[in-house]
Chain A
Amino acid sequence: MISVADFNLTLNGKAILQQVSVAIEAGEVFVILGPNGAGKSSLLKVLAGEFEAYKPAVQFHQRPLSSYAPRELAQLRAVMPQAVHLDFPFLAEEVVSMAIPYVGKAEVNRRVDEALALFDVRHLAQRNYLTLSGGEQQRVQLARVLAQILTAAKQAEQTGGLPPLLLLDECTSSLDLAHQQQVFKVLRRLARAVKMAVVAVLHDLNLASHYADRALLLSEGKIVQQGPIHQVLTQSTIEAVYQTPVEIIERPDRYPVIVPL
């Protein structure tokens, strides 16, 4: 669905990513892992097309990213950055509706409602976004990015249109335990149901172990390991990359748990 091959990213003379090749498929939850400063967010930004000069190198649905018109791209893929700063007192539902400026009012209301409900923030629809807690704001932002591609998702399911893509940078960093699980359950369900692809930068290895299909482990801008999640999350690899001892607890019929020692 989206891919780069043998990709190098250099910013201000510094090599940020080196020889990165990755191909994300429709219907999967793909996580990007690695220590701080490994280049995870940069890779996500490359896929999001934030570096103008590198857009031709990114293939999205068999076309270079640079060949898409802004609106065409917006309907097929949404991006949630690590942090969103908003200084104006919009209602939560208005924040979500900003993602879909080109559809009619009734359709906006329906989609906003659906997106808010998916992330358990429907009851906050009429609240001032600035008065919400960090976790609530994050869930409203998740609803916003999902609302943006909801139509493409429905079309992909019903008429076999191009499935959409979600790019998420640490989208659960402010969430409590239950909501972290709930968010990834929703994301995985959508990935399966409508063949949507989810690419998430994550720090929590256990969330990755629980919900991801495949993973890419980065260190200092290079790929250390890539593949099915449980082939990536091995004790030796984690210890080498994160420079800290861990134990992996294998459990029958459950995802393995990673415990730092």
Chain B
Amino acid sequence: MRLIKCAPCGLSVLAVVVLLMAVVSMTIGAIQIGWLDVVLALFGLSDNAQWNWVVQEIRLPRVILGILVGAGLAVAGAAMQGLFRNPLADPGLVGVSTGAALAAVSVIVLGSTYLAGWTAMTGYYAVPIAAFLGGLTITWLIYQIATKDGRTDVALMLLAGIAINAIAGAATGVLTYYSTDEALRSLTFWTMGSLASATWTDVLVSGIPILLAIGLLPYFALTLNAFLMGERVSEHIGFNVKLAKRAIIVLTALSVGAAVAVSGVIGFVGLVAPHLVRLLLGPDHRWVLPGSALMGAILVILSDSIARIIVAPAELPIGLVMAAIGGPFFLALLLQRRNRVGF
């Protein structure tokens, strides 16, 4: 049931694993660099000037972006599962990620024509803010559709997700095919994600909102715990449910929007990471939220490394690797719920 009894110890172990995997991931690439040299190059201490540059300017931003995106998606997944009172909610499955992607693509393609006013107003942050608003709209919409009288209809939630994914996916596809804009990355990027073009600017743009979400969501951990028994129950226990609900929806969208703006749509992180953490540490949100952030980082670095190794020197889209892991995981979860004795 609960593999690690001491939750803070479990979190520390996860944090160490994140660091180790980050270093290992930075050894992989067109040039093989040993882990010791990677560590030296991080501080510019390697004798090989090329290695210093490769590690600091290419591999480090990529791995940090991977950590941020993974943590952001996973913490958003954990919070959404609490909000929807259901362990099957995931920003990818219910359409929040594709909604954010559609908003981002719209701004890139239409930014100089129909949406010129928007880009003039938001400047450099036009794309991430649009992605955030796209994610926010979808989260709110799904919540309105699937939740009634403080209870969530899981079937409705997932079906609405299918519809939204189809609509937003189609619209994104149409926009990318008709666009000649060079700023727009390929449809593959928006549907299957990639960390390949990671820059320090990406890290900065996505880092602030994601760290904000990771930092603030734990304040609602106890509310989310009570929330799992129903909105009314947590109200009667004395929590400010309205405030918590709004804050969680906004922070979730912020985190997913930021992640999608810089890495496209990477599915299943928000489903798999919280689940593994619950198996390790139990369902208490005080541990699930930070634990998911760490586990999400691990999953994304791992997938990104696999994506780079498996067809080297080419690269697979990271979302493909995540889907190969997450898809069967999702099916296993459904099967388990069929038999229904805890999980």
Contacts and interface: CB of A to CB of B under 8 A. Distances in A.
B331 interface: no
Contacts, number: 72
A99 B237 contact: yes
A50 B240 CA distance: 13
A94 B278 CA distance: 14
B238 A75 contact: yes
A87 B238 contact: no
Contacts of B116: none
Nearest to B239: A70
A128 B1 contact: yes
Nearest to A48: B236
A138 B273 CA distance: 31
Contacts of A71: 238
B282 A73 contact: no
Contacts of A95: 229
Among B85, B230, B237, B283, the most chain A Cβ lie within 10 Å of the Cβ of: B237
B341 interface: yes
Contacts of A84: 229-230, 233
Contacts of A70: 235, 238-240
A86 interface: yes
B46 interface: no
- Say what secondary structure dominates the interface of chain B: loop
Interface stretch (B169-177, B220-228, B261-269): B220-228
Interface in A16-75: 48, 50, 70-71, 73-75
A98 B232 contact: no
B37 interface: no
Contacts of A131: 341-342
B87 interface: yes
B86 interface: yes
B229 A78 contact: no
A44 B204 CA distance: 52
Interface of A: 48, 50, 70-71, 73-75, 78-79, 81, 84-91, 94-95, 98-99, 101-102, 128, 130-131, 148
